[in-house]
Amino acid sequence: MSEPKLQLSGVKKAFGSKEVLSGVDLDVPKGKSMVVIGGSGTGKSVMLKCVLGLLHPDEGSIKVDGEEVTNLDARDRDKLMQKFGMLFQGGALFDSMKVWENVAFGLIQGRGMDRKEARDIAIEKIRAVGLKTETAELYPAELSGGMQKRVGLARAVATSPEIIFFDEPTTGLDPIMADVINRLIVEQVKELGATALSITHDMASVRTIADYVAMIHEGKIIWTGPVGDLDRSGSSYVEQFIHGRADGPITRRVV
Amino acid sequence: MSAQSEEIIGNSPPGGKSLLDVPLDVCAAIGGTILTFFAVVGRLAMFVGRAIAHCFLPPYFPNQLLRQLIDIGYYSIPVVGMTALFTGMVLALQSYTGFSRFNAEGAVAGVVILSVTRELAPVLAGLMVAGRVGASIAAEIGTMRVTEQIDALSTLSVNPFKYLIAPRVIAGTLMLPLLVFVGDIIGVFGGYIVAIYNLDFSSGSYLTQTWDTLETMDVVSGLVKAGVFGFIVAMMGCYHGFNSQRGAQGVGAATTNAVVSASILILIFNYILTQVFFS
């Protein structure tokens, strides 16, 4: 692996007595796409929120470009966020704003760019994700789920971030639309030369967008390797997960 | 040691509770409630401190502030105006009914102007705005919380305290005094209408009595109260919305809590401020 852009070491996070992350160690190489797989409730989203600073880890270290970022003050955190882009699972589009205003939001409010210039960039990004220019004037509520994901992707890449996070990018989409979104993710990440960290349990998504895969189970990374090694991981947990078998070392309590 | 003495010092038999466990359980429940209360007060104090700091620290979002000034101020005029109008009218009627028993009808104008400016306009406007604006703020921010829009703001390098909270708190604090000033005028006008057209007062003497009774402090104290109430309404809406739990039920609870807590705080602070101004 090349030099890590993002490095997590011994990251722990508990909510009350429930420990969700029990010491996550993960290196994401610069310019590569790392996908973290794992079942629901294994700590994927919590890990992502710790990296983004939306949650504060109880223990451990998170480094971006070799710099510790766990205890940044608000001003430095805002500055760090300029390196990040994020596609949320539900889109998280601002429903009071038009599509182009959503895409241009980070440019106008986060970077202080002129509205006209930001609008031009937003339209360009909207077209780059396969939407028509007219879509720019619509509100998020007027869009289908797939279109909202595309707008979310356009917003995530509009500020040309160095690191892009994808939270369950294909959840709730039909297989064809899921593949379209996966291909757009690959295209946009490659075009920007960005580092990507995704979390998903959609194996088709993993095989399309990942350079490296890591599996999280019970709050720990239990396997990591190139996507090509996924089918010969030698881990019974990974085997069970990628083949979607009910029988195996991963047991689910039915509540 | 006998079984009886073991029970007295708290070594409970399997499956049962000793006599000492009952008062201990009561103490634990009371202690837990007190700790929860202080935890909530602490969280609220930290939230208020952060919100106030972000009102003064750059960057600023003037467009958001303007939008909130219009939402909170301009669109609340009908609600506050109607409340003030009918309050003034009822006040004139009721005070006339009461004072006529003592042949003191001439005090109606003074009672209306003092009651409206000192108490009724700020308190009723505060409560009406808590219902209209506090609920709206909590529901909007709560929905943004549960749909991850607040997280999205952070990932786009925009501090949610500066973008969402500060403009609403500033707008609430500035606009409620203006609304109350308008409410003062409309409330007095309501009393005037009833006094002249229903109770056969002379227009000139009613206005003279009104003007003679009024002192600057009466209006100023009402406007200061209104500023405090506006701050409370906006802050409660923001706090409960920002800390909304997941789902529609969470947003509903946040909205209810915002209105209830703002209303109670308005009544408490009304007493405190009245004590400060007029004791």
How do residues B141-195 score in pLDDT, each as one tens digit? 999 999 999 999 999 989 999 999 999 999 999 999 999 999 999 999 999 999 9
Residue B244: predicted pLDDT? 93
Residue A146: predicted pLDDT? 87
Residue B8: predicted pLDDT? 46
CA distance A196 to A169: 12
Q: Is the pLDDT of residue B197 over 50?
A: yes
Cβ distance A253 to A77 under 8 Å?
A: no
In a domain, B137, yes or no: yes
Residue among A79, A93, A109 minimizing CB distance to B163: A109
CA distance B57 to B65: 14
Interchain contact, B61 vs A109, CB within 8 Å:
yes
Residue B61: predicted pLDDT? 93
Q: Which residues of chain A make contact with B155, given a CB cutoff of 8 A?
A: 52, 81, 84-86, 165
How do residues A52-105 score in pLDDT, each as one tens digit? 998 999 999 999 999 999 988 878 888 899 899 999 988 899 999 999 999 999
Residue B2: predicted pLDDT? 46
Which ranges constitute the DSSP H helices of A40-195?
Answer: 44-52, 74-81, 99-105, 115-128, 145-158, 175-192
Residue B15: predicted pLDDT? 54
Model confidence at B3, in pLDDT bands (50, 70, 90)?
very low
Task: Parse chain A into domains and list their residue ranges.
Answer: 1-83+162-255, 91-160
Mean pLDDT, range A217-239, rounded to an integer: 91
Q: Which residues of chain A make contact with B71, given a CB cutoff of 8 A?
A: none
Boundaries of domain holding B202: 61-278
Measure B146 CA to nearest chain A CA, in Å. 9
Mean pLDDT, rounded, of chain B? 92
In a domain, B84, yes or no: yes
How do residues A118-133 score in pLDDT, each as one tens digit? 999 999 999 988 899 9
Model confidence at B43, in pLDDT bands (50, 70, 90)?
very high
- A174 Cβ contact list (under 8 Å, min separation 6): A146
Interchain contact, B158 vs A109, CB within 8 Å:
yes
Which one of A52, A64, A81 makes the best mutation probe of the B interface by having the most chain B beta carbons within 10 Å?
A81
Residue among B61, B147, B155 minimizing CB distance to A52: B155
In a domain, B50, yes or no: no
Residue B14: predicted pLDDT? 54
- Among all residues of chain B, which has the CA nearest to that of A49? B151
In a domain, B19, yes or no: no
Question: ipTM, 2 decimals?
Answer: 0.87
Domain tally for chain B?
A: 1
- Among all residues of chain B, which has the CA nearest to that of A164? B155
In a domain, B56, yes or no: no
Side chain identity at residue B116, one-letter code? V
Residue among A84, A94, A111 minimizing CB distance to B155: A84
Of residues B48 and A187, more confidence is placed in B48
CA distance B225 to B234: 14
Cross-strand bridge partners of residue A35: A198, A213
Q: Which residues of chain A make contact with B163, given a CB cutoff of 8 A?
A: 109
> Two tokens at B114?
């003092």
In a domain, B33, yes or no: no
How do residues B82-119 score in pLDDT, each as one tens digit? 999 999 999 999 999 999 888 888 899 999 999 999 99
Interchain contact, A105 vs B156, CB within 8 Å:
yes
How do residues A132-166 score in pLDDT, each as one tens digit? 999 999 999 999 988 999 999 999 999 999 999 99
- From the candidate CATH numbers 3.40.50.720, 3.30.70.580, 1.20.1250.20, 3.40.50.300, the one assigned to the domain spanning A1-83+162-255: 3.40.50.300
- Among all residues of chain B, which has the CA nearest to that of A73? B159
For chain B, give the percent of residues with pLDDT over 70.
94
Model confidence at A2, in pLDDT bands (50, 70, 90)?
low
Residue B72: predicted pLDDT? 96
